[in-house]
Structure 1
């Protein structure tokens, strides 16, 4: 992950010439830009289309002396080329006097029932599940994938920049993109060769990686996996194509006619198959759509070729350009199989053409298809060794035999250039800055110091707090890890500390042992699902500013030991034993209770044994050490079921009880309507326990929007021994604001939220902890006053996201229980974050 952030860090600072290059802009006679016009070298099949601003770039390795420009409703124009390289052309097209006779053409809105392009589109829908490998019971094929990152829009000022002093040799690798026309410098390349097996009857697919090679960062599975997930595979026949956590409407979608215009432009033979050429372009701006064209066969209605270029006005951050090409080969008269997939994205902090950026390019080639060879279900379920060192160290002859596309001279040079660059001191300095920003830790030898973002904090018990910590880090695949921190509060004048260790015994079953001890101040009222993570997030000290008095804090001394195992992929079983002592951290907050003799106690000692089951289907991770990096964080469901048993008498433990808890979180892509997050939590304690062992409904007194908490609840405003809660948050991704003229260009995004909880509290538990409850309420000690038992508590919120591309502000409304003392009816919170 650190290496990837350095690649994007280059954004901040931010030869081989073809025989013929042209670029410029196409306009009509009034000076208006002509979008989606055809640009082609005369007497060739080498062409492109103009973007939404009418701009184009075209190049070829061959020499041509003329370029032809055409578009529906305009006269075709041919321009001679006096030089092999002609930039900044200004082309004016004149309206034609008569319409074409050969084909019925539509322009503007093309939803008319008699539009032949729509008739063809419906044929594609009818046959889309009958094409390619889906026509066979089983299939297999070889796959070669090449991923490359390039620093682009390189000019003389960047080349002469003092930032690159001592690294001038990197400019020898400069090339030019045949899609955008911008110069670029290759800075990273990764090659992968795999065998893919599938069974349509069992709905199973398995990919076995046989070789992987990259420049400069060998054996870094985190970087490789992150980049691959960024360019996850897609099917153009699907209704929505997901890139960068955004769902683009496919031009082949059944809902495509609602967002695209389609024009039947041409018909011709493509590899001895008669095909129709259809041009499509978006009806409206600011939506997640493409423009481009595709060729479709006239009998199978299978796609022969397609290109997609993301709309310039699409509400996507940090991405200036997305371009896709796919090519299909004819296996026989009725089956088309994909042979090539090309994906280019242009990342930049600004969308202006002259701004520096980073290209991300993926080329995937497919070969050696084989069909109808059945394999047992056990073949697809069998887990593969998470890391085989031989795969990442294949010899050169392995790649020479399996590459389906030879590397260019520039691509070969990347391997040498990156290896040399890593020895330059200035590069190392930039690398360390990027790594620190990415991970929150600063590496000193084999120790990471940090997290740097948790050094300062504030709360009512400690006042100003300073925290310093570190962890061992020899490599991302360390079989063991130790973490430690020390903290000091200037108000309570106390020293706090934490120590944690874990060791991976077996990498295949993920059998891990762990243990630790922490003595600290904690906000135990911030989460329903309890955690025994020794060095987990501490809301008591992570915020410098809070709403109201954040004084309901607890001093905790927690020791844990246990083990975890992963009997199946993404299914983890964990057994944890813990012992903790608890006491109030402030004079204004009490956790007092009556012991079995009726004597009031202010300190609690309790031992627990917890059995937890964690299931995260579709989660992707990298590495094989004791800690793994989650690649697709927030893109998979999360299920937890836990049983906790209180152990009376162990080390002086005072209570015996049983507790069940469950949590289910699920993200949903709702097509073109955005992204929905849902969370359900339930829990019950079956025996009497004191106040500090109950389940507080999670409040939030910070100024930050924290998902799965209640923004207008104070800490410990509600406490329960049984509960069920629901949290829903939906991000429309700008679909509403994008259609409002004066808001469309701001790329703002609409976010709505709803959260509710029902809880109950027995009179027995109230009587057991009467002193504690009296410290947090002025009213009678009844279940209806201490937990949301007489009616569901609920909140709702409206937010505006993507402010300056990094900030969201939410206005939160409390739905009921408004008559409670100091009830916060309306609140404003915000959250920072980088997202596409």
Structure 2
């Protein structure tokens, strides 16, 4: 998980003054002092309200003055309480059971009937008419969009104010405010505004979003942060069956499967604007599932939403998110079409879900206006790319923003811009910001040069022993058009120095025409992946893992020089050509051999020399990146499909190259969100080598002798256990995200997540290639009788950061040193 919490926490701090006129909080319980979860709490004679949480607690505020509070829940008498003051906290409200209430157990669990329920009758009408509303009804559409992103440090108390971390920055706490959603104190710490023009064509299923202006609180180079937050709060449609947030699929309250997941109660009817609407309250049937609680207002003729509120329950199986709250408002076009006009999204990032824990609010407010329809544009309009980094867009004058904003900043939001200018002069703030940058990027920043990455400093393998590595890169901004990177490494056992150096230059930003050149001399584990490229900067984990099972002596010394050119003619479609020259020899010839017989001379050779020209095509639809320079950061890593095709030709004789051959490789990877059943990750790899080549140039099935769970490897295969010249490999991994464990009482509260995996590979190896490498003494086997396969079961989210996988071999038990069972694990920060 990206270190967004830390980055947001260390960016800067500020204050916001109170605007609300009526604030209430408290707890709703029954006559036995039992909390009543999901009770409806609203200001009387209004549509402003909320739902109590699992513990019966609520907080509600409004900019208007109200004199009464109305509390209701199925099976209990509705209660109206007079509000004598504008602010009334810690209310204790007791509801009395109705004389003709349902069975006591049903009341306590809050279950509602699926039959003869008017709320569900209305829900079915919403399903029937869902596609008759919104921009999907039109062939083409366009509109203006204003987006405001904000971070707030919440739960401000004396211990935080007086902590050493803020010494020298006490002035930021002069004023604080309370959230209208949670009632917690908070300080705004970051603000970004953006104006977009959005175009869409439903007939060809294309959209295009043009950025017209961007402004943020003090940092002009904040594209990574903004892009990452935008991806967290990606666009969604509440009419869809599932809503994806933070890599999780939540069941929408408007889902066709909603009646199996939610309770629905028709509570009210009223005019919203000039439209008569029904109010329906919904809340989960079970705990620990990815669901919401809240309410929505729906029109009585078009069955379109007018307003909806969604709040994730605290028991939901999601990490680092304590609260998540959504509001949407819709307006009417031509008395029939409902279009979204406002979307408000607030999440509370925190280390735990305790009521008093401190965290960071992430807020996104999106406003929509100036809708226009059925204005057709040439399909080329959607395909063409514009200059992705227009300096004018990031330097709009105040007059532009005064006119373009659809919602004026309040006085406290305006102060955020001024505050950061002050904070940037404070040494204490500079220290905090630098620490956050190091932890987030892995590099220590200097003027134009970064030292790192720090996380690859230490390694160990059987050849080098303990290994130390130090490197760096040029870095001025995230939009640098050129970059030089390098590293040096030293192994204490082999007493040898290794290095790598490379340079890149972005010739044209619009087409992303780029050239690169580099050289690397190092020790690595060949065959760490089936589909590979001659990447000068690449290095496999297998050659530097600190702990392994069995011996890790089959390492190769590689001297690789590569020159490449690539271009992106269309977004996320990359074409490249790479010319490489490499020499391969065993890192320790006494432990491992790459010997082969020269087919022309019959001479025994111990070192492979090879020149190769390769053409690559990569397509990554829906990939989102940030930065417009030679390097870009992927902000939705692992959330898009990948198609990769590599065609390489070995050229004999050039620079004393040894072999002529042709190699073709194909990779297709795809993540799938299976609604409420979790997430399936799949990958298919195919490859073939035409021509006779020795062991060092064959396709090695990637074994994994580390104790780390690495996707697209075979955890029970040893390095070089299977070698092929033709292969087909399939990997499947499914994460149920706790759907099974959430139904087991003893495991429910642990929020564990169950994983299953399956891997298989079929490959062949020609007799000619086996004979060519016979002098190496290596036993070359291919899974050509039956596909080799493994399966695994895993438990994730252990203490929120650890997963453990149990692997079982399916066949080929008679292979030398075959492992029938193994355990791997991995640490990671996942939502």
Superposition TM-score, scaled by structure 1 size: 0.96
Write out aligned runs for 1:784-799 (5 A).
786-799=781-794
Write out aligned runs for 1:407-418 (5 A).
407-418=409-420
Pair 1:89 & 2:84 matched: no
| Farther-moved stretch of structure 1 (75-84 vs 491-500) | 75-84
Shift of 1:518: 0.7
Which of 258, 266, 269 is residue 267 of structure 1 equivalent to? Answer: 269
Which of 654, 663, 670 is residue 666 of structure 1 equivalent to? Answer: 670
- Give SS of 2:824's match: strand
Aligned to 2:807: 812
- Give SS of 1:122's match: helix
Q: Distance in 1 between matches of 2:822 and 2:464?
A: 26
- Give SS of 1:564's match: strand
Pairwise CA RMSD: 1.9
User: Number of paired residues?
Assistant: 821
Aligned to 1:589: 592
Which of 274, 282, 289 is residue 280 of structure 1 equivalent to? Answer: 282
- Maintained 8 Å contact 1:11/1:348: no
- Maintained 8 Å contact 1:222/1:623: yes
Aligned to 2:391: 389
Write out aligned runs for 1:47-62 (5 A).
47-62=49-64
- Maintained 8 Å contact 2:542/2:704: no
Pair 1:315 & 2:317 matched: yes
Pair 1:489 & 2:491 matched: yes
Aligned to 1:822: 817
Write out aligned runs for 1:479-558 (5 A).
479-558=481-560
Q: Distance in 1 between matches of 2:54 and 2:466?
A: 54
Shift of 1:173: 4.8
Aligned to 1:645: 649
Which of 195, 198, 216 is residue 196 of structure 1 equivalent to? Answer: 198
Aligned to 1:749: 753
CA pair 2-669 structure 1, distance change in 2 beyond 3 A: closer
Q: Distance in 2 between matches of 1:29 and 1:719?
A: 72
- Give SS of 1:374's match: coil
Aligned to 1:336: 338
- Maintained 8 Å contact 2:611/2:650: yes
| Farther-moved stretch of structure 1 (172-181 vs 471-480) | 172-181
Which of 720, 724, 728 is residue 728 of structure 2 equivalent to? Answer: 724
Write out aligned runs for 1:326-475 (5 A).
326-475=328-477
Q: Distance in 2 between matches of 1:232 and 1:597?
A: 62
CA pair 69-118 structure 1, distance change in 2 beyond 3 A: closer
Aligned to 1:7: 8
Pair 1:708 & 2:712 matched: yes
- Give SS of 2:516's match: strand
- Maintained 8 Å contact 2:733/2:758: yes
Pair 1:303 & 2:305 matched: yes
- Maintained 8 Å contact 1:107/1:263: no
- Give SS of 1:141's match: strand
Pair 1:240 & 2:242 matched: yes
- Give SS of 1:834's match: coil
Q: Tell me the alpha carbon deviations over residues 647-694 of structure 1, each in whole angstroms, 9 at most, x when there is no partner.
A: 111111111111111111001000000111000001001100011000
- In structure 1, runs of 5+ residues without a counterpart are none
Shift of 1:445: 2.0
Q: Tell me the alpha carbon deviations over residues 97-124 of structure 1, each in whole angstroms, 9 at most, x when there is no partner.
A: 2579xxxx99943343322211111111
Which of 127, 136, 139 is residue 137 of structure 1 equivalent to? Answer: 139
- Give SS of 2:174's match: helix
- Maintained 8 Å contact 1:10/1:151: no
- Give SS of 1:317's match: coil
Q: Distance in 2 between matches of 1:148 and 1:302?
A: 30
- Maintained 8 Å contact 1:173/1:410: no
- Maintained 8 Å contact 1:11/1:358: no
Q: Distance in 2 between matches of 1:84 and 1:126?
A: 43
Q: Distance in 2 between matches of 1:28 and 1:568?
A: 62
Q: Tell me the alpha carbon deviations over residues 745-793 of structure 1, each in whole angstroms, 9 at most, x when there is no partner.
A: 1111111110000000000001100022x23x3xxx6xxxx11001110
Shift of 1:11: 13
Q: Tell me the alpha carbon deviations over residues 423-451 of structure 1, each in whole angstroms, 9 at most, x when there is no partner.
A: 21111111111111111111122111111
- Maintained 8 Å contact 1:133/1:337: yes
Q: Distance in 2 between matches of 1:8 and 1:704?
A: 31
Q: Distance in 1 between matches of 2:825 and 2:321?
A: 24
- Maintained 8 Å contact 1:11/1:356: no
Aligned to 1:205: 207
Aligned to 1:252: 254
Superposition TM-score, scaled by structure 2 size: 0.96
CA pair 231-112 structure 1, distance change in 2 beyond 3 A: closer
- Maintained 8 Å contact 2:51/2:293: no
- Maintained 8 Å contact 1:3/1:431: no
Q: Distance in 1 between matches of 2:390 and 2:515?
A: 23
